[in-house]
Chains A and B, each alone.
Chain A
Amino acid sequence: MKETVAIEKIEDIEIRLLLEALYSRYHYDFRNYAMASIKRRLKQGRDQLGFASFSALQESLLHDAAMLPRILGYLTVQVSEMFRDPTYFRAIREKVVPHLRTYPSLKVWVAGCSGGEELYSLVILFREEGLEERTLFYATDINQDALRSAEAGVFAIDRVPLFTENHRNSGGKSSLSDYYHAAYGKVSFDKTLRRNVVFSDHSLVTDAVFAEMQLISCRNVLIYFDRSFQDRALGLFKDSLSRSGFLGLGAKESLRFSQHAGAFKDFIREEKIYQRRGA
């Protein structure tokens, strides 16, 4: 039994060193990610890439830059869906959009856009509500592969029934099939949806404010951060939002535990949609 405890402690040291190496060599900072998830993902990476230990993985990562995207693939992968939690998108449509209509031009930031599911959901919603043309969307992520796949807008066809059902339940005013065409087991979303989208490499942990937003949607990204990173990211959102701008988080994320809680007020509490308080 003592043996087991000792082995686990070494593993924790190795993980810390691996994350340190990733930061020193490539400037990707996962050091304050929520460790339980990181550990689980790194174990998966270690086993699937065939390394005997995290130290061996670290050596390879330091000396072989080709290893970087593979490790990042494990560290940043997350599984989302279009119109995930349809009631959130319904609330955006019915409660937030009426406010947004009063602006002549809009900026929307999908922070941590991953494969683009949330981005396309919002662009479609904005098109349905007649706001797309006056809106500039920023879709950011730290993972280049994720950005590329978001920009491609291609999804496996077996996910589409769920997307379609979610879209309908979100109060969709059109048919989701209007926006994609299917071929070879995939669906490809219409490139006109990307007309007003800027895809960009941006880290919520190390990068700065880049524009003034009326809406930031960042769902199920902060759950991967520890409290200090969460506070950093929420501070960035606070500074990026225009007065009375909106922030949407994931269904089980909360500002309650953050030092920036006071800068926001509940707009729709049950959907985790917050509004920036006037300065």
Chain B
Amino acid sequence: MNSRQAEAVVIGASAGALEALSVILPALPVGFSLPVIVVVHVPPNKRSMLTELFQAKCQVPVREVEDKEPISAGTVFFAPPDYHLLIEVDKSLALSSDEAVLFSRPSIDVLFESAADTYGSALIGIILTGANQDGARGLKAIVEAGGLALVQSPAGAFASTMPEAAIAACPSAQVMSLDALAACLKKFGG
């Protein structure tokens, strides 16, 4: 994929997400051209603080998704607690209360599979630190649709299970440090 082809970035993270995202998201420059859609495993019965937290840290707009919200470029979107987040064909954001997948709602697989369906080869999928296998299937769907798969290096991850599962499912994925991931995103959308 060259930089002209990318239309969106999806990111999945679980245990250790806050630290990892704190390297990547604040590094997105003003005027970043791609939407960045993020699923973090958060507890279902609490308001998530992620949006406020990253609004304070980031140079780009950060929002928690509302149903049927249009996807705007250069914005970070967080899945709300206790809903799955999906990308519709018309490139709007849709929520669902369907059952948890791999004990997770929001589920990284659900976001990634629907995003792969909509964006095809114009999608960048990133799996970060986490202690379960969510995201591996979704990243595989992205690769199969011709998109680009990036994975945080398990050695440097707070929890290595999730990146390891993603790499096992997608041997062609590029594995790199958080700093390298941030630099890579800037190259595509900076």
With contacts A1-B121, A251-B80, A253-B66 taken as known, whether A34 is within 8 angstroms of B88 at the C-beta atoms is yes
> Of B68, B80, B98, B146, which is within 8 A of A37 by CB?
B98
With contacts A4-B146, A35-B89 taken as known, whether A253 is within 8 angstroms of B98 at the C-beta atoms is no
- A79–B99 Cα distance when bound, in Å, is 6
CB atoms of B99 and A8 under 8 A apart:
no
Smallest CB gap from B116: residue in A: A8
Smallest CB gap from A79: residue in B: B99
Decide if B52 is an interface residue (CB 8 Å cutoff).
no
CB atoms of B66 and A256 under 8 A apart:
yes
> Of B83, B86, B113, which is within 8 A of A252 by CB?
B83
Q: Which of A89-97, A126-134, A208-216, A218-226 contacts B (4 or more CB under 8 A)?
A: A218-226
Decide if A41 is an interface residue (CB 8 Å cutoff).
yes
In A27-48, the 8 Å CB interface with B consists of 34-37, 39-41
Decide if B19 is an interface residue (CB 8 Å cutoff).
no
- A63–B121 Cα distance when bound, in Å, is 38
- A253–B113 Cα distance when bound, in Å, is 23
CB atoms of A79 and B97 under 8 A apart:
yes
In B52-92, the 8 Å CB interface with A consists of 64-69, 80, 83-84, 86-89
Smallest CB gap from B99: residue in A: A79
Decide if B135 is an interface residue (CB 8 Å cutoff).
no
B163 proximity list for chain A (CB < 8 A): none
A162-185 interface bits toward B, Cβ cutoff 8 Å, 1 = contact, 0 = none: 000010000000000000000000
CB atoms of B88 and A78 under 8 A apart:
no
CB atoms of A36 and B98 under 8 A apart:
no
CB atoms of A34 and B94 under 8 A apart:
yes
- A41–B84 Cα distance when bound, in Å, is 13
Smallest CB gap from B94: residue in A: A34
A244 proximity list for chain B (CB < 8 A): none
- A168–B114 Cα distance when bound, in Å, is 37
CB atoms of B98 and A41 under 8 A apart:
yes
B101-144 interface bits toward A, Cβ cutoff 8 Å, 1 = contact, 0 = none: 00000000010011001101100000000000000000000001
> Of A1, A35, A77, A253, which is within 8 A of B67 by CB?
A253
CB atoms of B114 and A78 under 8 A apart:
no
B169 proximity list for chain A (CB < 8 A): none
CB atoms of B97 and A230 under 8 A apart:
no
A166 proximity list for chain B (CB < 8 A): 45
Q: Tell me, rounded to whole Å, the shortest Cβ–Cβ distance linking B42 to chain A.
A: 13
> Of B64, B95, B113, B144, which is within 8 A of A40 by CB?
B113
CB atoms of B98 and A79 under 8 A apart:
yes
With contacts A36-B88, A256-B66 taken as known, whether A78 is within 8 angstroms of B98 at the C-beta atoms is yes
- A257–B65 Cα distance when bound, in Å, is 13
- Of residues A79, A252, A256, which shows the largest number of chain B Cβ atoms within 10 Å of its Cβ? A252
CB atoms of B87 and A36 under 8 A apart:
yes
- A100–B45 Cα distance when bound, in Å, is 28
CB atoms of B67 and A37 under 8 A apart:
no
Q: Tell me, rounded to whole Å, the shortest Cβ–Cβ distance linking A124 to chain B.
A: 19
CB atoms of B68 and A257 under 8 A apart:
yes
Decide if A5 is an interface residue (CB 8 Å cutoff).
yes
A-B contact pairs, 10 of them (CB 8 A): A1-B146, A8-B145, A35-B88, A36-B89, A40-B98, A40-B110, A78-B96, A252-B65, A252-B80, A253-B67
Known: A35-B89, A78-B98, A80-B97. 8 other contacts (CB 8 A): A1-B121, A1-B146, A223-B96, A224-B96, A250-B97, A252-B95, A253-B95, A256-B66
10 smallest beta-carbon distances between A and B, as pairs? A36-B86, A36-B114, A37-B96, A220-B97, A34-B94, A223-B67, A254-B66, A223-B95, A1-B146, A78-B97
